[in-house]
Amino acid sequence: METASIVWFRQDLRIQDNPALHAAIRRGRPIIPVYIWSPAEEGEWQPGGASKWWLHNALLSLENELKAKQSQLIIRAGSALEILTQLRQETNADAILWNRRYEPFAIERDRKIKESFKGKVTVESFNSSLLFEPWEIHNKEGKPFKVFTAFWKTILAKGDLRPAIASDVKTWPQPEQCPDSLPLAKLQLLPKIDWAKTIRSTWQPGRAGAEKRLEIFLNGIVSNYATTRDYPGIDGVSKLSPYIHWGELSAREIWHSVKDLRLNNKNPHCAKSVETYLKELAWREFAHHLLYHFPKTDCEPLDDRFRQFPWQAKSSYLKAWQKGETGIPIVDAGMRELWATGWMHNRVRMIVASFLVKDLLIPWNDGARWFWDTLVDADLANNTLGWQWTAGCGADAAPYFRIFNPLLQSKKFDPDGDYIRTWLPELSNLSNDEIHEPWQLDKQALQRAKIVLGKNYPAPIVDHAEARLKALAAFDAIKEDRGKEDKGKAARIETSVHRGNK
């Protein structure tokens, strides 16, 4: 029986620029593409509802892509190690190849799998999702970065990236007999109650949808990205995040496509916009860099002071925030966009996150978990970085200067209320000036707009000015506690030094 190569697909659901697949093609032996559904192995970060919806459709797209190559995606469910062992026996495979993931549980799982197959078959992993490996970027002391600016400068100093792998192979060797495969529907990734109608109308998962969105971005949006990216009421961002997360596009493909655009466009405004977007890709790298080097930060604050932060986990506030019923239009619009589409504009993500942790004093972990369940681009590294950044307990954080005023943010970045009207139609009769703070209107104005506060739109659950003062007081408290700890630690060190000298 001829030997074969198993290619284990994970979050690299594409044929193009897929290092593991292309390594298998170079081996010249039959290829067994496999996807293993093993959510239990992902611990507490099992895919949420929106992620599972996307995954189902992305796998369906990959199945069709492989069929066009006269190949077949083998779907199995269960322990990755057990299934890879079974497949190796069934196919006489002498190589198991995959592209790396960087979540702590994935690193540990991959280590155990490599140890299990050591000396038996060729086992090799590749970098498919990042521009650089997390261990390749470090400061002069060889330590990981905690500040983005220095991280970004180091990436630029690395020089040009290798090009994406060309995909000119029409077919590859097939096994004499394919192993058994589960029907995709057996994974039960789609919701039993169909809540995904708006998500379906918003997104096209899979490589074709990824290429289409990239083309839209490159052919217009990116040229003005530096100015349009902060305005949620217009189509001014890439919306490539779910395609990057699921690996339907590689970060390397996007980097080169955007950079090539800058080289071919002499407009200085375009050059600035391109650099701004490339920085956003670098922020994604930074997120993975941090999670790799500080693997407990998915649940614990990077800044130890925040273990003592006086959070106020009020369930009624959390529920109002989740449902988009806080009475703050820009916050509610963002949360309703998230529920309807599985995505939220990045500027609004910062606003709603700041409101949760600073105005409501609800733990950042609660927000991270809600995003995890509702985002189609739910990425553990990005999610962790974003929430810890906003809470002030992560890398590059300056909490005193990041208590967003949702009203000022709303007026600045949604001046005409277009975004708010899209997701809060009950406020659509308000004028551009009124729509940001309907609670300030008199009875006549509310009646004219057919709004009854507390009935068809809620009154604000907190006053921002008062909430801001409470948040600052909480920050001062942990700052003082840390100061006492530092003084005590210094005294202990000094004492130990004197004893040593004796």
Residues noted as catalytic: 280, 283, 311, 346, 364, 387
Sheet with 122-126, side-by-side order of all strands: 74-77, 31-37, 4-9, 93-99, 122-126
Name 76's bridge partners: 36
395-413 CB burial, b ≥16 within 10 A, e <16: bbbebeebbbbbbebbbeb
Give yes or no for a contact between 134 and 292, defined as CB atoms under 8 angstroms apart: yes
How far is Cα 108 from Cα 99, in angstroms, rounded to an integer? 14
- Terminal-residue alpha carbon distance, the chain: 75
How far is Cα 180 from Cα 245, in angstroms, rounded to an integer? 28
Output the six-digit token pair for 330: 């820009």
Which phi and psi angles does 19 have, rounded to 5°?
A: -60, -40
Looking at residue 311, its amino acid is W
* DSSP labels, 27-87: HTS-EEEEEEE-GGGGGGG---HHHHHHHHHHHHHHHHHHHHTT---EEEES-HHHHHHHH
Using alpha carbons, list the distances in angstroms from residue 227 to 63, 273, 411: 39, 8, 16
* DSSP labels, 212-244: HHHHHHHTTGGGGHHHHTT-TTS--S---HHHH
Using alpha carbons, list the distances in angstroms from residue 437 to 336, 344, 348, 410, 434: 18, 21, 16, 9, 6
Q: How many CB atoms lie within 10 A of CB 100?
A: 20
Output the six-digit token pair for 50: 């929106």
Give yes or no for a contact between 399 and 379, defined as CB atoms under 8 angstroms apart: no
How far is Cα 309 from Cα 298, in angstroms, rounded to an integer? 17
Helix (H), strand (E) counts: the chain: 20, 5
104-143 CB burial, b ≥16 within 10 A, e <16: bbbeebbeebeeebeeebebebbbbbbbbebeebeeeeee
Which phi and psi angles does 181 have, rounded to 5°?
A: -140, 145
Q: Please name which of 319, 342, 302 lies closest in space to residue 195, comparing C-alpha atoms.
A: 342
